[in-house]
Amino acid sequence: MTRKRLLCIAPDDKGARALLNEAMLDWEIRSVSNLGEAGRELRNDRYLVGLLVHDREQHRPAEVDTFLRRYSHMQWVGVFSPRDLESAPCRDLVVEHLCDYHTAPVDPVRLAHTLGHAHGWAMLRRRPSANDGHDDPASPLVGGCDAIARLRAQVSRVAKVAAPVLIWGESGSGKELTAQAIHAQSDRAAGPFVPINCGAIAPSLIHSELFGYERGAFTGATRGKAGLIESADGGTLFLDEIGDLPKDLQANLLRFLQEKTICRLGSTRNIRVDVRVIAASHVQLQQAVASGAFREDLYYRLAVLPVTVPPLRERRDDLVTLAEYFFHMYASEKSPRLKGFSNRAIEAILDHDWPGNVRELINRVRRALVMSDGRLIMPEDLGLTRGIMAPTPAALDDTRMRSERRALRECLDRSGHNVSRAARDLGVSRTTMYRLLSKHGMRE
Ligand SMILES: Nc1ncnc2c1ncn2[C@@H]1O[C@H](COP(=O)(O)OP(=O)(O)OP(=O)(O)O)[C@@H](O)[C@H]1O
């Protein structure tokens, strides 16, 4: 049997030891003297139960409130002097955050009983999940499923070399986070990570944004300015939605990748820049190459190390881990009474197809933190009650997308992933089939 662990926050260690006597021999107890130390301990280690011995001199109610909000996934028991409990802010702390409290002088045997009870509750509330997503605390990519383990392994491998990386994945699946992980594990980690979304900048501005300009290069250029490539010197440049890069700039980027120099707009001087390029796209670039929208030579330059981020629906084992991770990440936005997800909410999360991937999950969890007024999040707080909600145009779209995706997947499986045969079975042309596959971000 694993030992029960307690984090005790008490101003003096002797006082804490006196409280936690022989009745708690089966506990592993760590005692700290203030909230700062407690925060450090909780960032490094996991506890289910905490004991707060309140000290009026040291603990400002607002600070304690912020601290307990942050660690609201734990069960907290408090010890207060009778005088403390006369003050309204202290009483609020008890009501909002604690599962139980004792008034000093404390009976150690009763306290041990309360803490045991709190531990029992904490164990009941804990959901077994894939390593709680902590099997590699150094990686920002949360999740323990095979697909994420493979992605983490790929990240470690490509981080060791300097060649360009091309990340493919649906929108919101974690491409930028993957790029950040590669940068953080590379020998450029101390240098800058500069992201740019090629689809979000007006085509007329991308050139000067990427390559910079000299004074007088165009009307209004009263001063010269370094571009994003230059500002990433010594680090990593992340080019998101690379498929949206205009054709003329594709040629400039290719030249930069080949020669490692850039030339600012309005200048003839080449500047040497040491930058690793990671590009990302939510569409299959091969199709853009086939249609002539993307330069083939640039594609092969960028795709030296291809990395695929799997969509969330292919990481079902991680859904609960991720939902709980974001619940805690945004815990400061919730009412302290809200303790977690109801079983029905978990079922709804597992049942949903997540077309918007991890970003959609974050948005739904944050919405639920604000909308829920009970102790547990319900499916309706997440906006995941299909039967009850009036169908909106967005919901209809969602349904159509889902059935299209299902039909595509089934046909492809039946045809042994032969696109021509799957297209025939569906009664569509091969071109339409490729368009559908691209629309749904499915690779074949
Ligand atoms: N495995 C993960 N663990 C924790 N957070 C994640 C994970 N994957 C994605 N996220 C979070 O989800 C959000 C969306 O991820 P990100 O921006 O990396 O997606 P993207 O694929 O680059 O999206 P887009 O294509 O729209 O630019 C971010 O807040 C990111 O931190």
What is the tens place of the pLDDT at every residue in 217-274?
A: 788 878 888 899 999 999 999 999 999 888 888 998 999 999 999 989 888 889 999 9
CA dihedral in degrees (254, 255, 259, 261; nearest 10)? -110
* ipTM associated with this complex: 0.98
Reported as a single tens digit per residue, the pLDDT across 43-65 is 888 899 999 999 888 888 889 98
Q: Is 212 in the pocket of ligand 1 (CB under 6 A)?
A: no
Quote the ligand 1 centre to 254 CA distance (angstroms).
27
Distance 178 CA to ligand 1 centre (A): 8
Query: Count of alpha carbons within 13 Å of 185, Cβ hemisphere only?
Result: 21
Could you give the C-alpha distances from 204 to 37, 117, 210, 253, 257, in angstroms and in order?
52, 65, 11, 15, 22
* Among protein residues, the one whose CA lies closest to atom 31 of ligand 1: 177
Give me ligand 1 centre to Cα 387, in Å: 29
Ligand 1 mean position, distance from CA 190 (Å): 22
Q: How confident is the model at residue 200 (pLDDT cuts 50, 70, 90)?
A: confident
pLDDT (0 to 100) of residue 254? 93
Please indicate whether residue 362, judged by its CB atom, sits closer than 6 Å to ligand 1. Answer: yes
- CATH classification of 161-308 is 1.20.120.530, yes or no? no
Residue 178 has pLDDT above 60, yes or no: yes
Distance 317 CA to ligand 1 centre (A): 17
Give the Cα separation of 105 and 19 in Å (integer).
9
CB atoms within 10 A of CB 437: 19
- 226 CA distance to ligand 1 middle (Å): 28
Give CATH for domain 4-125: 3.40.50.2300
Q: From the CB of 130, is ligand 1 less than 6 Å away?
A: no
Residue 129 in this model has a pLDDT that exceeds 80: no
Judge: domain 393-439, CATH 2.40.350.
no
Domain boundary assignment for the chain: 4-125, 161-308, 393-439
- Of 67-76, 184-193, 237-246, 290-299, the range with the lowest mean pLDDT is 67-76
Closest atom of ligand 1 relative to the 318 alpha carbon? 1
At residue 331 the predicted structure's pLDDT band, cuts being 50, 70 and 90, is: confident
From the CA of 180, give the closest atom in ligand 1. 18
Q: Looking at per-residue confidence, does 238 or 12 come out higher?
A: 238
How many angstroms does the Cα of residue 114 sit away from the middle of ligand 1?
A: 41
Answer for the pair 389, 381: CB distance below 8 angstroms, yes or no: no
Query: For position 276, what pLDDT does the model report?
Result: 96
Q: How far is CA 143 from the centre of its chain?
A: 10
User: Which SS3 state, helix, strand or coil, does residue 341 take?
Assistant: strand
CA 173 to CA 308: how far, in whole Å? 10
Domains 4-125 and 161-308 in one fold: yes
Q: Is the pLDDT of residue 407 over 70?
A: yes
Sheet holding 75-80, edge to edge: 27-32, 4-9, 49-53, 75-80, 100-103
Ligand 1, atom 15, residue with closest C-alpha: 174
Residue 379 binned pLDDT confidence (cut-offs 50, 70, 90)? very high
Q: Which residue has the higher pLDDT, 194 or 440?
A: 194
Cβ atoms 139, 152 nearer than 8 A:
yes
Mean pLDDT of 189-218: 87
The average pLDDT across 265-285 equals 92
Say how far apart CA 156 and CA 433 lie, in whole Å: 35
31 Cα–ligand 1 center, Å: 37
Residues of the chain with pLDDT > 70, as a percent, come to 91
DSSP string for 101-160: EEESSP-HHHHHHHHHHHHHHHHHHPPP-GGGG-S-TT-S----SHHHHHHHHHHHHHHT
Q: Is 308 in the pocket of ligand 1 (CB under 6 A)?
A: no
Ligand 1 site, residue 363, Cβ cutoff 6 A: no
Q: Supply the mean pLDDT for the chain.
A: 86
Which atom belonging to ligand 1 lies closest to the Cα atom of 169?
21
Our answer on whether the CB atom of 422 is closer than 6 Å to any ligand 1 atom is no
Asked if residue 139 has its Cβ within 6 Å of ligand 1, the reply is no
Q: What is the pLDDT of residues 76-128, one digit of tens each?
A: 999 999 998 898 888 888 888 888 999 988 888 888 889 988 888 887 766 54
SS3 310: coil
pLDDT at 306 > cutoff 50: yes
